[in-house]
Amino acid sequence: MSATDSDAIDLSLGPPAQELRVRLRDMLAEMLPPTWSTSFSNDPDVQAIVERVCQRLGEERLLTLSWPHEYGGADADIWQQTVLREEMWAHFEPRGPQYMGLSWVGPTLMKVGTAEQLQRHLPAIAAGRAVWCQGFSEPESGTDLGSLQLSARREDGRWHLNGQKIWTSYAGLADWCFLAARTSREPRKHDGITIFLVPMDSDGITVRPIPSMMGDQHLNEVFFEDVQVGDDAVLGEIGGGWDVIKLVLTHERVGIPRYARDERVLAELAGHASLQDSLTAQSYAQTLVHTRVARLLNYRAIALSERAMLTDREASVARMASVQLDQEVAHLALEMVGSDGLVPDRDAGLVGRLEDVFRYARSATIASGTIEVQRMLIARNVIQEVKDEA
């Protein structure tokens, strides 16, 4: 795939990407049990499968496919990486919490990390040995990250971290936290934020799971009580954390191909008896169209990212299409299968996992920036474009 100008995009992924898709499907069919449905679990058997999958992918340089060879990658192009992400999500993300390190922690480190930080962290991520969590949201600072309050105060050559983070996925399993903290008070609330790379086994860190309909490891509170780290834990410039956060969020918005799992759900339901009803068949066809639209919008964002032309507008449009689709597919699937879909049954194939799919989709329009924020970003971008043309 390539983009020859701002409007024309070649949507052919090319033979290498298609060959990779076949290779990944064969590998996952071999390694995943028929009942596989989620990596968000404290079950040792589930985490053992995640470990085996990541080890195999790491050995074949597939875990960090698009990373430079010097960092443990395979120098693959962005479209092969896209295929990798699609197949992982279509198979209920068997890389588990590793997707954070792979999709945005590692790439962000490559952009702004020191040589020592790259040497310390990238090999462990590439080998699937390090689990990361994201310390951004706080009880009074979720969507508006600029208002975060967790403090970092430097004293006697150490940084002292105090405060709380919330909704932190995989915090109970993580080795490291990619933490946003306030190092100073400035006129602009987005200034004075600094990123820290914090070991989760540091003294003073407490993780408390938050029971929810989403199940294990999705939601946690993390408390920092005089947690101490050195200057080597600072990522980027002191007070320049907002630029790093924007880089991370850009990776997040174009890095999660929810549409791939949605396509698989629809494919599994293609022969369902409920499609004999004309209204249901019409809804199914409409949702399938929305799935293809979401894929193409994501491909457009990726193509523009490849050319360093991606703006908040394209990234947010792609994300909005994906998260709304997630909920649309989950709702349609339950409507089609009826009460059978409300009872989890790991032995009943994908239909037995629709209840889990539905619960997971409820958070789609909230996580990583609410859909209202995405609309705001699009509006701001359009308004600025109109002003520039005036």
Cβ-based neighbour number of residue 360 at 10 Å: 22
3 falls in which pLDDT band (50, 70, 90)? Answer: very low
Q: Is residue 1 part of a domain?
A: no
| Secondary structure (3-state) at 201 | coil
Q: Is residue 262 part of a domain?
A: yes
Over 50: is that where the pLDDT of 6 sits? no
**Which pLDDT value is given to residue 7?**
54
Q: Is residue 137 part of a domain?
A: yes
| Residues 262 and 377 reside in one and the same domain | yes
pTM: 0.85
> What contacts 321, CB < 8 A, 6 or more positions away?
259, 290, 293, 294, 297, 298
Sign for the pseudo-dihedral over CA of 104, 89, 28, 355: positive
Structure tokens at 251: 């990776």
Over 50: is that where the pLDDT of 297 sits? yes
Q: Is residue 127 part of a domain?
A: no
The domain that holds 365 is classified in CATH as 1.20.140.10
| Residues 269 and 365 reside in one and the same domain | yes
pLDDT tens profile 52-66: 999 899 888 899 998
| Residues 309 and 182 reside in one and the same domain | no
The domain that holds 142 is classified in CATH as 2.40.110.10
Over 80: is that where the pLDDT of 216 sits? no
Q: How far is residue 24's CA from residue 270's CA, in Å, rounded to a whole number?
A: 23
Instruction: Name the residue range of residue 58's domain.
Output: 13-95
Number of structural domains (the chain) is 3
Compare 143 and 243 and report the one with higher pLDDT: 243
Q: Is residue 125 part of a domain?
A: no
Backbone angles phi and psi of 155, in degrees to 5? -150, 130
Over 80: is that where the pLDDT of 215 sits? no
Ranges 30-34, 235-239, 374-378: which has the least confidence: 374-378
| Residues 170 and 212 reside in one and the same domain | yes
Over 60: is that where the pLDDT of 148 sits? yes
Task: Decide the pairing of beta strands 132-135 and 176-182.
Answer: parallel
388 falls in which pLDDT band (50, 70, 90)? Answer: confident
